[in-house]
């Protein structure tokens, strides 16, 4: 097929040369120009007719190649789009899982914060004097921990208020530390730090919740302690 086409090109070149010569002659005679044009068309027609099979085969082959190329490009594009869709689906699946996990963790934290599962207690000597105040969600585990502490093993675990949520427990624990004067870094038997840092952003919320507990249990606590800010 390519050989046929290559054979056609010189023939067509000769025809065009004839046109060129005719154009030069036509400068002197319009009649000659017209005759040359007609002759060239006839020659071109004869050339095409004689080589019609090769020319048809060439363009047919080119058309098939073009279709194959377009098909390959379309397949590649479709594959890329399919892979992109899979990647996007995977990304959304990961995002959904992360969101679900975060929501579950938040729900657990909120539940733990609001559930009335805390107890505020004191560790007292035989005379009933408190030397330590704390809060716990598990009284049994906390009792064992204190018994294993040589500084507090001799003290009795005494619940002060139970059924508190986390806000109430933190606020009331701090109030009772101040009321019982158990903060004393010089003695490891006592509390070493405040239950709430004076710099805690939720200090007011904790103290407000703690004041509600103190009023409920009937503690006679000074306003100075009830309104402690750590300053």
Report the pLDDT value the prediction gives residue 26, as an integer from 0 to 100: 46
pLDDT digits (tens, 9 = 90+) for 41-59: 555 555 555 555 655 665 5
Q: Are residues 56 and 148 in the same domain?
A: no
pLDDT digits (tens, 9 = 90+) for 107-141: 566 655 678 999 999 999 999 999 999 999 999 99
**Most confident region among 29-33, 66-70, 72-76 by mean pLDDT:** 72-76
Give the strands of the sheet with 156-164, arranged side by side.
130-136, 118-124, 156-164
pLDDT digits (tens, 9 = 90+) for 173-198: 999 999 999 999 999 999 999 999 99
Q: Is the pLDDT of residue 27 over 50?
A: no
Q: Is the pLDDT of residue 71 over 80?
A: no
Is residue 107 included in any domain, yes or no? Answer: no
Per-chain mean pLDDT for the chain: 78
Q: Residues 120, 134: contact at Cβ < 8 Å?
A: yes
Q: Are residues 220 and 128 in the same domain?
A: yes
Q: Are residues 55 and 131 in the same domain?
A: no
Report the pLDDT value the prediction gives residue 142, as an integer from 0 to 100: 98
Q: Are residues 136 and 217 in the same domain?
A: yes
Q: Are residues 125 and 219 in the same domain?
A: yes
Q: Are residues 127 and 194 in the same domain?
A: yes
Please tell me which residue, 93 or 3, carries the higher pLDDT value: 93
Is residue 133 included in any domain, yes or no? Answer: yes
Domain boundary residue, one of 18, 41, 61? 61
Q: Are residues 137 and 221 in the same domain?
A: yes
Mean pLDDT of 84-109: 72
Is residue 103 included in any domain, yes or no? Answer: no
Its pTM stands at 0.55
Q: Are residues 139 and 220 in the same domain?
A: yes
Domain boundary residue, one of 22, 40, 61? 61
Mean pLDDT of 15-36: 53
Q: Are residues 50 and 137 in the same domain?
A: no
Q: Are residues 47 and 122 in the same domain?
A: no
Rounded-to-integer distance, Cα 105 and Cα 101, Å: 6
Is residue 75 included in any domain, yes or no? Answer: no
Report the pLDDT value the prediction gives residue 111, as an integer from 0 to 100: 54
Domain that holds residue 30: 2-61
In sequence order, what are the residues at sequence separation of 6 or more whose Cβ sits closer than 8 angstroms to the Cβ of residue 108?
none
Report the pLDDT value the prediction gives residue 152, as an integer from 0 to 100: 97
pLDDT digits (tens, 9 = 90+) for 138-182: 999 999 999 999 999 999 999 999 999 999 999 999 999 999 999
Q: Are residues 122 and 218 in the same domain?
A: yes
Report the pLDDT value the prediction gives residue 138, as an integer from 0 to 100: 97
DSSP summary character for residue 206:
H
Is residue 31 included in any domain, yes or no? Answer: yes
Q: Please give the tally of structural domains in the chain.
A: 2
Is residue 87 included in any domain, yes or no? Answer: no
Q: Are residues 45 and 123 in the same domain?
A: no
At residue 198, φ and ψ (nearest 5 deg) are -60, -20
Is residue 99 included in any domain, yes or no? Answer: no
Is residue 113 included in any domain, yes or no? Answer: no
pLDDT band at 37 (very low <50, low <70, confident <90, very high): low
Q: Residues 171, 196: contact at Cβ < 8 Å?
A: yes
């Amino acid at each position: 097929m390519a050989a046929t086409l290559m054979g056609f090109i010189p023939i067509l070149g000769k025809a065009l040369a004839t046109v060129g010569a005719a154009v030069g002659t036509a400068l002197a005679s319009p009649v000659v120009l017209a005759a040359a044009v007609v002759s060239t068309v006839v020659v071109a027609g004869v050339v095409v007719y004689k080589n019609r099979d090769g020319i048809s085969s060439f363009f047919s082959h080119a058309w098939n190649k073009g279709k194959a190329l377009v098909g390959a490009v379309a397949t590649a594009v479709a594959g890329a789009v399919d892979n992109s869709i899979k990647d996007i689906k995977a990304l959304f699946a990961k995002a959904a899982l992360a969101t679900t996990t975060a929501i579950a963790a938040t729900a657990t934290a909120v539940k733990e914060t609001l559930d009335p599962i805390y107890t505020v207690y004191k560790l007292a000597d035989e005379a009933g004097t408190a030397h330590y105040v704390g809060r716990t969600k598990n009284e049994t585990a906390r009792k064992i921990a204190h018994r294993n502490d040589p500084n507090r093993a001799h003290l009795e675990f005494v619940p002060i208020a139970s059924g508190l949520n986390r806000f109430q427990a933190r606020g009331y624990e701090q109030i009772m530390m101040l009321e019982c004067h158990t903060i004393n870094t010089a003695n490891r038997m006592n509390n070493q730090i405040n239950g709430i840092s004076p710099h805690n952003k939720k200090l007011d919320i904790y103290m407000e919740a703690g004041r509600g507990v103190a009023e409920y249990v009937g503690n006679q606590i000074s306003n100075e302690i009830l309104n402690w800010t750590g300053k």
